[in-house]
Amino acid sequence: MITILRSKNVLVNEKFIEADIVIKGEFIQSIDTYGSNEVAVDLGFKKIVPGIVDLHSDAIEKEIEPRHGATFPVEHAIAELDKKLSMAGITTMFHAIGFEDNPKKKRSVYLARQQIEEIYNANKKHLGVDNLIHARFELSSSDAIEAIKEVIDLGMVKLLSIMDHSPGQGQFKTLETFKTYYSNYYGLNDDEVQDVVDKKMNKDEEKINNLISHAKENKITLLSHDDDCIEKLDGLLDLGVQISEFPLDLEVAKYAVSKGIATGMGAPNIVRGGSQSGNIAAIDLVREDVCKYLCSDYHPTSMLQAVYKMKEDTNLPLEIGFSMITSTPAKYANLTDRGELKAGKLADILVIDDSHIPKVVLTLKDGESIYNGIRGFKL
């Protein structure tokens, strides 16, 4: 089956042009001259862009437990979230699954393994978008190492981030800020907080290095998390880290980019105008061209809005903004078959109406409509 989409605003090679997109099966067959095909779906001035590629989101946790103590089965949660992702224009989602024992946040090695298996199996059977796995390893969670190696061996994981949330560095500069956060956010008493501190400070370097070597042998992309100093980044470079997620300091982000490490920030940080945890505003990194891509972190609908917010706040061209949520993250995740409107690429395509608040009105995945929000419209 051949479908032809026509618009005066088609994003090709980081430029909006007038064009016809010819789709055959699950792939883009060609980008043709505007109006050169006799039969086409004319979308007027609506923008046509590639599907969004999201490298990091823990939105599944909120779908499993939308209210404290009210939990839903993982299989139901992923099915419902999948529909929301299609409406947000996210056609490739990496669910960031945390391997750490944190009962207050409903995280554990067992739950992480269960969620990964549920997502992986559902993705093969019935989901609309590509639901992939980004495993998050807390350095103090030695008990998680064998479980992570197992899901890597089963081909269920494509990204692995190395996280260190121990007090005195990273997100928690002092022991006091760590204790305050865990006490207020998770409702822990002094003894419970101290127990968390003790566990966070306990790291088995031999086992950690073994896991990292195993990931590299299986060509898993390695990411760091909340980098706060150049010395720490140098150590991560030696380990083979290729992406720095949420750098906490402008100088660290600049250093990472100078060393060839990609830097990613959260789209909600852009949309809200700052970090919810008081760290650096992502827009400051965008201004200095040291934020190379965005992820949804915890709020998928922020991805599209962030592109327009960057245009508003820094005059960043929309074409560049869209590359930060499509072609660039696809490249960093080694997904060479998507992220661009180009012959031979997957027909993961969005139609956007930005006449008011920008919104996705049509989402194609592998050439098929998985969300249609245009009233009275049929492909």
> Is residue 185 pLDDT above 60, yes or no?
no
Q: Which of 375, 342, 344, 379 is nearest to 364 (CA)?
A: 379
pLDDT of residue 172: 58
Q: Which of 30-39, 138-147, 281-290 has the lowest mean pLDDT?
A: 138-147
Which part of the chain is CATH 2.30.40.10?
A: 2-49+340-372
The residues that bridge with 353 in the sheet, in sequence order, are: 359
> Is residue 168 pLDDT above 90, yes or no?
no
> Is residue 169 pLDDT above 70, yes or no?
no
173: pLDDT confidence band, cut at 50, 70 and 90?
low
Which part of the chain is CATH 3.20.20?
A: 51-249+324-332
pLDDT of residue 180: 59
Average pLDDT over residues 177-188: 56
Q: Which of 176, 113, 116 is nearest to 141 (CA)?
A: 113
Assign a CATH topology to domain 51-249+324-332: TIM Barrel (3.20.20)
pLDDT of residue 189: 65
Residue with token string 């269960």: 114
pLDDT of residue 238: 86
Task: Tell me the per-residue pLDDT of 239-249, one tens digit each, with 9 for 90 and over.
Answer: 899 999 999 99
207: pLDDT confidence band, cut at 50, 70 and 90?
confident
Structure tokens at 368: 């098929």
What does pTM read for this prediction?
Answer: 0.90
pLDDT of residue 379: 73
- Identify which has the larger pLDDT, 231 or 55: 55
Average pLDDT over residues 314-339: 98
Q: What is the DSSP string of 194-218?
A: HHHHHHHT---HHHHHHHHHHHHHT
Mean pLDDT computed over every residue of the chain = 90
Do 131 and 156 touch, CB atoms closer than 8 A?
Answer: no
Half-sphere exposure of 300 (CA within 13 A, CB side): 28
pLDDT of residue 293: 98
206: pLDDT confidence band, cut at 50, 70 and 90?
confident
Task: Tell me the per-residue pLDDT of 101-147, one tens digit each, with 9 for 90 and over.
Answer: 665 556 788 899 999 999 999 999 999 999 999 999 988 788 899 99
Assign a CATH topology to domain 2-49+340-372: Urease, subunit C; domain 1 (2.30.40)
- Range among 3-17, 194-208, 231-245 with highest mean pLDDT value: 3-17
Cα–Cα distance between 195 and 102 in angstroms, integer?
A: 11
Phi and psi (nearest 5°) for 228? -120, -5
Cα–Cα distance between 282 and 237 in angstroms, integer?
A: 22
